[in-house]
Amino acid sequence: MSGTGVMILSSFLALMVTYILVTLYKHRKEVQRVSHIPGRNYPFKLLFILFHKNDFFWNDKKQYHNYNEFGPYWRITVGDKTIFHTCKLDHYKEIAITKTKYFEKDEEKFLEIQPCGPTNNVFASRGGESWKRYRSISSVSFTDSKLANYMTPINDIVKNVLTYVENNQKNEINHLDWIRIVLDDKEELPELSRRNFLAAQMVLMIPKTVIITLGRIIPAWLWKDVTDSSELFRTWPEYIKNLVLREKERLVENIENTGQASIDVDRDNFITQLLKYESPEYGKLSLDEVVSNTHIVLLAGSRTTGISSSWLIFFLAKHPQYQQKVFEEIQDFVNSSSFETRDSSSSLNLTLKDIDNNFEYLKMAMNETLRLQALERNRNGEAWKRYDRAYSASSTLLLLSKENPVPANLRKTVKDIVLEDGILLPKNLQVLTFHGLNNYDKKIWGEDADEFRPDRFTEYNKRIKEDNSLNNRFEFVPFFIGGRRCIGYKLAESQMIDYAANLVWNYEMSLSDEMQRTPIIERHAIAVEPSTPLMVRFKPRVLHQ
């Protein structure tokens, strides 16, 4: 090796040694910085090697068992970052409710618009003040009067699904994955109009309501090839941007003609509201922010509601005794004076009022599904890598091991905070909260907490009715709680109830022979998915033959 080569190699080794020493120094400094937080500290690599199956970050069911092994508090140090786990529900309540004013979004790291997606030009806002502004606009769009307008397209989609099941020769449907498509008025995306799925006409921008689509109850088994969904994401970025630009042109023309520049929540769709909105504190949203928030709203729920509906159908098919109770409940509703046949089809054509005032047992089955298989879980490994890179070297994470079915709630302390039990959370501490461990707590749900039993919510609802305290309400919060509760929760519930009610009313559902023999293995990604297809057999009910 030449002298130059030796020098280069020596320099490289020197840099590596320096990097390792600096990293070890930062690691040690970080350990000392958080040493006041209770619980033992475990190096991540050691845990990964010795307890890999415990899946410390991504599987909340396994995290629940970690509580028994590691105690109520434990910390993991990853380089110069620390993740603090606590299984105390009181901590979560303090951060989410009683001390929420001392926490904020991490504006420095998450407010900026970041490109993502296959073409790298889909903008996804990471929250911060932009999210606060978005919520102040969109919250008015999820009133009952607005939601009632959504039931027509939901019912149209359900009819398409019923038609598909009726015409399917195998009568076994794969409930595995779901897709959500957006169409602008009656204009279809060229790349999508040629796809072989029944709901090509499905999702429209509802006139005089927010622009939010209802295709998330459309399963991917309507596609010949699931991989065709990649076409959507190749076409999507430019489509969203053009959608916003068209709305902006219409808005400018309308203001010139009418002089009306203020928001009209009854007439303006969601994009128009975003374009019109102006905050005295933050000013108007930029075009990128409008595109970003439109993207989020139109795609939000694509996997959450769909996969939860899949699990609901799976559980009802697996447990015929509970499916029969749901059917009898629907039968009582159909025979009641409150139900009117809307057309001659097999669809129930439910209204929002129907869903609000009926189907108590089906709602308990839905909640039991959300308890066992929540909408969204902890981030998967790849997401964690991206998340990890977003933080500075000196940051510390406080992870409350409570799973959240809506995206994980990230907070940053605005000052040093002492919790009621004396634990100090220093200023600028990142707080990532998950609350789903309660879903498997046998002290709350009984010794059969790992089993599907909708009737347990009879006891839960009675307990809440007798004592509506925060302590009881935090036992089950599938859509979060407080000021940051999922703004689309009622839309999601309505879709799940409508979809399941129509399938149960028209078909006896059972698991395929293969499903009865094969155990379900969960795959923890954005949502908890089965690693194999959920094959459900549909048999037309004699009542309708």
Beta strands (DSSP E) in 64-191 are 73-78, 81-86, 103-104, 113-116, 122-125, 172-174, 178-179
Asked whether residue 116 is marked as a ligand-binding residue, the answer is no
Do residues 56 and 399 lie in contact, with contact meaning Cβ atoms separated by under 8 Å?
no
Cα–Cα distance, 93 to 89 (Å, whole number): 6
SS3 track for 233-296: HHHHHHHHHHHHHHHHHHHHHHHHHHCCCCCCCCCCCHHHHHHHCEECCCEECCHHHHHHHHHH
DSSP state of 525: S
Cα–Cα distance, 370 to 107 (Å, whole number): 31
Q: What share of the chain is helix, strand, coil (3-state, %, to 5)?
A: 50, 15, 35
Cα–Cα distance, 336 to 346 (Å, whole number): 17
Quick one: how far is CA 169 from the chain centroid?
Answer: 33
DSSP SS3 for 387: helix
Cα→Cα distances 471→61, 91, 110, 241, 448, Å: 21, 12, 31, 44, 22
Per the rule left: phi > 0, alpha: psi between -120 and 50, beta: everything else, 262 is beta
Bridge partners (DSSP) of residue 40 are 74
Cα–Cα distance, 427 to 151 (Å, whole number): 46
Neighbours of 492 (CB within 10 A): 26
Phi, psi of 157 (to 5 degrees): -65, -45
Q: What is the length of the chain? A: 545
Beta strands (DSSP E) in 95-245 are 103-104, 113-116, 122-125, 172-174, 178-179, 218-219
**Residues in Cβ contact with 173 at an 8 Å cutoff, skipping those fewer than 6 apart:** 164, 165, 219, 221, 535, 536, 538
Structure tokens at 139: 């919250």
Neighbours of 88 (CB within 10 A): 16
User: Which contacts (CB < 8 Å, 24+ apart) does range 388-396 have?
Assistant: 388/78, 388/81, 390/109, 390/110, 391/81, 391/109, 391/430, 393/26, 393/80, 394/26, 394/30, 394/80, 395/81, 395/428, 395/430, 396/30, 396/33, 396/34, 396/81, 396/82, 396/84, 396/426, 396/429, 396/430
- Going by the annotation, the residues of the binding site for heme are 486
Summarize the annotated binding site as residue ranges. 486
